[in-house]
Amino acid sequence: MLLVDLLAGIGRPVLSGCAAVGRVAIFAAVALSHLVRPPFHARQFLRHFLEIAYFSLPVVALTALFTGMVLALQSYTGFARFNANAQSAVASVVVLSMVRELGPVMAALMVSGRIGAAMAAELGTMRVTDQIDALSTLATDPIKYLVTPRILAATIALPLLVLVADILGVAGGFLIAILKLGFTPATYLDASWDVLRAMDVISGLVKAAVFGFVIGLMGCWCGYHSRGGAQGVGQATTAAVVLAAIMIFGLDYVLTEAFFAR
Amino acid sequence: MSGLGLSVRGLRKAFGTKVVLDGVDLDVPPNSSLVVLGGSGSGKSVMLKCILGLIPPDAGQIIIGGQDLARVSRRERRALLDRIGMLFQQGALFDSLPVWENVCFKLLAQKRITRRAARDRAAEVLAQVGLAASVGDLWPAELSGGMQKRVALARAIAAQPDIIFFDEPTTGLDPIMGAVIDGLIVDCVQRLGATAVSITHDMASARRIGQQAAMIHQGRIVWTGPAATLGNTGNAMVDQFARGEREGPIQMELRR
Q: Which of B51, B94, B157 to probe the A interface (max A CBs under 10 A)?
A: B94
Q: Is the pLDDT confidence value at A262 over 80?
A: no
Is there a domain that residue A9 lies in? no
Range of the domain at A173: 42-260
CA distance B155 to chain A (A): 9
pLDDT at residue number A152 = 98
Contact B34, B196 (CB under 8 A): yes
Nearest-CA distance from A65 to chain B in Å? 33
Give mean pLDDT, residues A244-251. 97
> For residue A20, is it within any domain?
no
Whether the per-residue pLDDT at A171 is higher than 80: the answer is yes
In this structure, are residues B70 and B61 in contact, taking their beta carbons and an 8 Å threshold?
yes
Task: Look at residue B202 in the predicted model and tell me its pLDDT.
Answer: 87
User: How far is residue B142's CA from residue B148's CA, in Å, rounded to a whole number?
Assistant: 9
Size of interface A-B (CB pairs under 8 A): 51
Could you give the ipTM of this predicted complex?
0.88
Q: What is the pLDDT of residue B77?
A: 85
Per-residue pLDDT, B249 = 84
d(CA B153, CA B156): 5
In order of their start, the domains of chain B are 1-83+161-256 (3.40.50.300), 84-160 (no CATH)
Beta carbons of B238 and B223 less than 8 angstroms apart: yes
The stretch A244-257 carries a mean pLDDT of 97
Q: Give the 3-state secondary structure of residue B221.
A: strand
- Quick one: average pLDDT of A165-178? 96
Listed by number, the residues of chain B in 99-158 with a beta carbon closer than 8 Å to a beta carbon of chain A are: 105-106, 109-111, 155
**Does residue A54 have a pLDDT over 60?**
yes
Task: Spell out which residues of chain A touch residue B158, defining contact as CB-CB under 8 Å.
Answer: none
Task: Pick from B48, B90, B148, B162 the residue to mutate for testing the A interface (most A CBs within 10 Å).
Answer: B90
Residue at A15 is within a domain? no
> How many whole angstroms separate alpha carbon A120 and alpha carbon A219?
5
Provide the residue-wise pLDDT of chain B in tens; the chain has 256 residues.
Answer: 567 899 999 999 999 999 999 999 999 999 999 999 988 888 888 999 999 989 999 999 999 988 998 888 888 888 888 899 999 988 899 999 999 999 999 999 888 899 999 999 999 999 988 899 999 999 999 999 889 999 999 999 999 999 999 998 888 888 888 888 898 889 888 888 899 999 988 888 999 999 999 999 989 999 999 998 888 888 888 888 888 888 878 877 655 5
What pLDDT shows up at residue B254?
A: 59
Does the residue A1 lie in any domain? Answer: no
Domain contains A22: no
In the structure, what pLDDT confidence band is assigned to residue A98 with cuts at 50, 70 and 90? very high
A145 neighbourhood in chain B, CB within 8 Å: 109
pLDDT at A1 over 80: no
Number of domains in chain A: 1
A101 within domain boundaries: yes
Does residue A221 form part of some domain?
yes
User: Best mutation site among B76, B105, B167 for testing chain A: the one with the most A CBs within 10 Å?
Assistant: B105
Rg of chain A taking only CA atoms, in angstroms: 22
User: Parallel, antiparallel, or unpaired: how do β-strands B212-217 and B33-37 relate?
Assistant: parallel
Residue A139 inside a domain? The answer is yes
Alpha carbon B92 to its chain's center: 13
Q: What is the pLDDT of residues A99-132, one digit of tens each?
A: 999 999 999 999 999 999 999 999 999 999 999 9
